[in-house]
A and B are shown apart, each in its own frame.
Chain A
């Protein structure tokens, strides 16, 4: 920068995500100290402060209409059972209600009012009779079918099927069309599309979960359709004993610094820092002319 090398905060992560920490105070001592996704004084970029009482949510001050900023969460107060009509207004079950309840219904927040009959998640009032109250047939239609996918009347097109994707039922291309295999399907619910060659929760076959154990510092992966369990980065199995997993922290273990058996000078107390035996620059000594 300006003809000089300067430290810069990394903006990319090894997994392809975006690194959101920035150096907003200009001090090298604490590195890239500020998360611009959540810091109300530096929201979205350094120095951009939110109004008093407003939260920084995903790098933006407050929420986009019609959602409201309730304690740092963006919620729809028209339908939120915990924030009905206003932040913090938790709906209570009405003292007198239907008995029995119409199928797949519950009392909650509707149009900013508590105590309203509404559909449970995954069910729809497709014949629009819920306003009949206790006499209605409730939310009679499951919303996970190709005919009613996520909403009443939302039908999937040819070559598509209704699947649970990113928190909602959506019409998606069939697994077969995508060259994938459907795993975890039951008679009632569709499964998820899986690439059996790379999916560590469905490796080779549906349901084959690759072994990993955080306390043993092992990580599982699915490669070429077979599970591979390897040491977590920075750890190694130096004693060959599977029961203690990858027992050595190569970043700090002086007897195995950076690699198994790579010993720092233990007699001299040489420490292992970030996988390297710490070297101190020689004193230049007395310079004679």
Chain B
């Protein structure tokens, strides 16, 4: 593995000490907006790991490693094969047992605090961690859940497709109640079923976005007087005044599939999208635009404003601008520590970074060619990247380096999701594997 050095730039000069105020971190907490975020200073990082999950003990792991070649089921010479389970004591990331089936991928993890973490995955898997134990919550479904997001402990979304969007009010008395709430549109138009929903993000309980493949639908202008018909693939939660409840606004997004959404606030939102062809690594930046938003051109059907209007206005506060990502591979995840420090990752190990003044994404040299599926961090100098074949990379403000990890015997699992309540409590989920990071350990140095 190559050690990759990120060219330092002036905007981080003031952070040389690596100490960042906790209050600052809260503002760019990623999953739940009110999550706990202890400071990311190095003193904390080197502290004794908190006793938390029932990690696989080293003796057990070593016993498993006996006859590893026989048990691994893969060629030990293959770099994608784990023939021996490393002791948890010597690595930064340790396996944690969960009730999830090893045959099911866990796709996403997200929480409101270190004692309230949700994970979802294939086979209708929904898991909750209460600070000590992972518990399976039977969902009654067999479909894959692609993403989990919540604004707080009592407002959690877990999404699969346009016919399966679970909303939960939190973990209570050892379980949780989930309600399937397939999105209904403000325009009363139909939403086609079984469209996969991967992208899910919100800035608050009332501002939630999810996205799928485009479908023909109708979108209103804010005043509801005229509307357009065209392809939409964003669904944005809306709470009509005085009506109670909520509905979803259908909005145009990209021409094809939106893979991820993240924003530093309701008015600074990023999307990664797979538009096919040479635009598989499409990114769009949503920033405030005029209201009404006259973004729809004449190629769309415009209703209710004939004859005077030549273009429709729609109920989207954001104007979406394509930003060159310098990759033709799909970008699967976007996250930033703030509006001025955004990362995106994807195909073939691609890592991209965007700062406020950039006109396009910067190419960041990557130490891996494995596809990266998710990026998350607790702050600008503590960013994690996870992907295929057990790949875990860390950026400390200067370099991106592979981290050390305990993996189960056999082919190295793809790692799909990462989230933490703070720098020393971070979870990774993947194909039949759940990993926990509780702070740097003596002697476990990043490889």
Q: How far is the CA of A85 from the CA of B8 in the complex (A)?
A: 85
Q: How far is the CA of A228 from the CA of B122 in the complex (A)?
A: 14
CB < 8 Å: which of B143, B278, B330, B431 contacts A224? B431
- Tell whether, in the assembled complex, residue B194 and residue A225 are in contact, meaning their CB atoms are under 8 Å apart: no
Given contacts A181-B142, A205-B194, A237-B348, contact A226 B123 (CB under 8 A): no
A192 interface contact, C-beta 8 A:
no
Q: How far is the CA of A104 from the CA of B196 in the complex (A)?
A: 38
Complex contacts, A237 vs chain B, CB 8 Å: 348
Complex contacts, A204 vs chain B, CB 8 Å: 122, 143-144, 146, 196
CB < 8 Å: which of A196, A206, A240, A241 contacts B122? A196
B107 interface contact, C-beta 8 A:
yes
Complex contacts, B394 vs chain A, CB 8 Å: none
Interface of A: prevailing SS: loop
A93 interface contact, C-beta 8 A:
no
Given contacts A226-B144, A226-B416, contact A240 B105 (CB under 8 A): no
- Tell whether, in the assembled complex, residue A226 and residue B328 are in contact, meaning their CB atoms are under 8 Å apart: no
- Tell whether, in the assembled complex, residue A206 and residue B105 are in contact, meaning their CB atoms are under 8 Å apart: no
Q: Produce 1/0 per residue, A220-247, CB < 8 A to B.
A: 0001111010000000010011110000
A208 interface contact, C-beta 8 A:
yes
Q: How far is the CA of A110 from the CA of B194 in the complex (A)?
A: 44
Complex contacts, B123 vs chain A, CB 8 Å: 196-197, 225
B280 interface contact, C-beta 8 A:
yes
Complex contacts, A243 vs chain B, CB 8 Å: 277-278, 280, 328
A207 interface contact, C-beta 8 A:
yes
- Tell whether, in the assembled complex, residue B105 and residue A223 are in contact, meaning their CB atoms are under 8 Å apart: yes
Q: Which residue of B lies closest to A226 (CB)?
A: B105
Given contacts A205-B160, A243-B328, contact A226 B280 (CB under 8 A): no
- Tell whether, in the assembled complex, residue B142 and residue A242 are in contact, meaning their CB atoms are under 8 Å apart: no
CB < 8 Å: which of A181, A197, A205, A208 contacts B104? A197
Q: Which residue of A lies closest to B431 (CB)?
A: A224
Given contacts A181-B142, A205-B143, A223-B105, contact A240 B329 (CB under 8 A): yes
Complex contacts, A208 vs chain B, CB 8 Å: 196
Q: Which residue of B lies closest to A239 (CB)?
A: B348
For the complex formed, measure the closest distance between the CB of A52 and the CB atoms of chain B, giving whole angstroms: 52
For the complex formed, measure the closest distance between the CB of B3 and the CB atoms of chain A, giving whole angstroms: 19
Q: Which residue of A lies closest to B145 (CB)?
A: A204
- Tell whether, in the assembled complex, residue B432 and residue A242 are in contact, meaning their CB atoms are under 8 Å apart: no
B121 interface contact, C-beta 8 A:
yes
Complex contacts, B104 vs chain A, CB 8 Å: 197, 224-225
Q: Which residue of A lies closest to B107 (CB)?
A: A226
Q: Which residue of B lies closest to A240 (CB)?
A: B348
Q: How far is the CA of A68 from the CA of B278 in the complex (A)?
A: 54
- Tell whether, in the assembled complex, residue B194 and residue A242 are in contact, meaning their CB atoms are under 8 Å apart: no
- Tell whether, in the assembled complex, residue A241 and residue B431 are in contact, meaning their CB atoms are under 8 Å apart: no
B412 interface contact, C-beta 8 A:
no
Q: Which residue of B lies closest to A179 (CB)?
A: B142
Q: Which residue of B lies closest to A260 (CB)?
A: B369
Q: Which residue of B lies closest to A196 (CB)?
A: B142
Q: Produce 1/0 per residue, B315-336, CB < 8 A to A.
A: 0000000000001111000000
Find residues 189-232 in chain A having any chain B CB closer than 8 Å to their own CB. 196-197, 204-208, 223-226, 228
Complex contacts, B349 vs chain A, CB 8 Å: 240
Q: How far is the CA of A7 from the CA of B349 in the complex (A)?
A: 44
Q: How far is the CA of A241 from the CA of B347 in the complex (A)?
A: 9
B352 interface contact, C-beta 8 A:
no
For the complex formed, measure the closest distance between the CB of A275 and the CB atoms of chain B, giving whole angstroms: 15
Q: How far is the CA of A197 from the CA of B106 in the complex (A)?
A: 12
Q: Which residue of B lies closest to A224 (CB)?
A: B105
For the complex formed, measure the closest distance between the CB of A61 and the CB atoms of chain B, giving whole angstroms: 44
Q: Produce 1/0 per residue, A129-168, CB < 8 A to B.
A: 0000000000000000000000000000000000000000
Q: Which residue of B lies closest to A206 (CB)?
A: B194
For the complex formed, measure the closest distance between the CB of A205 and the CB atoms of chain B, giving whole angstroms: 5
Complex contacts, B327 vs chain A, CB 8 Å: 242
For the complex formed, measure the closest distance between the CB of B98 and the CB atoms of chain A, giving whole angstroms: 14
Complex contacts, A226 vs chain B, CB 8 Å: 105, 107, 122, 144, 414, 416, 431
For the complex formed, measure the closest distance between the CB of B384 and the CB atoms of chain A, giving whole angstroms: 20
Complex contacts, B280 vs chain A, CB 8 Å: 242-243
B436 interface contact, C-beta 8 A:
no
Determine which residue in B104, B122, B281, B347 has the highest number of CB atoms from chain A within 10 A of its CB, and name it.
Answer: B122
Q: Which residue of B lies closest to A207 (CB)?
A: B194
Q: How far is the CA of A131 from the CA of B349 in the complex (A)?
A: 70
CB < 8 Å: which of B350, B369, B414 contacts A228? B414
Q: Produce 1/0 per residue, B385-416, CB < 8 A to A.
A: 00000000000000000000000000000101
Complex contacts, B121 vs chain A, CB 8 Å: 225
Given contacts A197-B122, A224-B431, contact A205 B105 (CB under 8 A): no
Complex contacts, A207 vs chain B, CB 8 Å: 194
Determine which residue in A206, A242, A243 has the highest number of CB atoms from chain B within 10 A of its CB, and name it.
Answer: A242
Q: How far is the CA of A108 from the CA of B415 in the complex (A)?
A: 59
For the complex formed, measure the closest distance between the CB of A138 and the CB atoms of chain B, giving whole angstroms: 35
For the complex formed, measure the closest distance between the CB of A246 and the CB atoms of chain B, giving whole angstroms: 11
- Tell whether, in the assembled complex, residue B105 and residue A225 are in contact, meaning their CB atoms are under 8 Å apart: yes
Q: Which 8 A-B pairs have the closest CB atoms?
A: A225-B122, A204-B144, A224-B105, A242-B329, A224-B431, A240-B348, A243-B328, A225-B144
30 intermolecular pairs with C-beta atoms under 8 Å apart: A181-B142, A196-B142, A196-B143, A196-B144, A197-B103, A197-B104, A197-B122, A204-B122, A204-B143, A204-B146, A204-B196, A205-B143, A205-B144, A205-B160, A205-B161, A205-B196, A206-B143, A206-B194, A223-B414, A224-B104, A224-B414, A225-B105, A225-B123, A226-B105, A228-B414, A237-B348, A241-B328, A242-B280, A243-B280, A243-B328
Q: A224-B104, A224-B122, A242-B328 are in contact. List 17 more A-B contacts (CB 8 A).
A: A196-B122, A196-B142, A196-B144, A197-B104, A205-B160, A206-B194, A208-B196, A223-B105, A224-B103, A225-B123, A226-B144, A226-B416, A237-B348, A240-B348, A242-B280, A242-B348, A243-B280
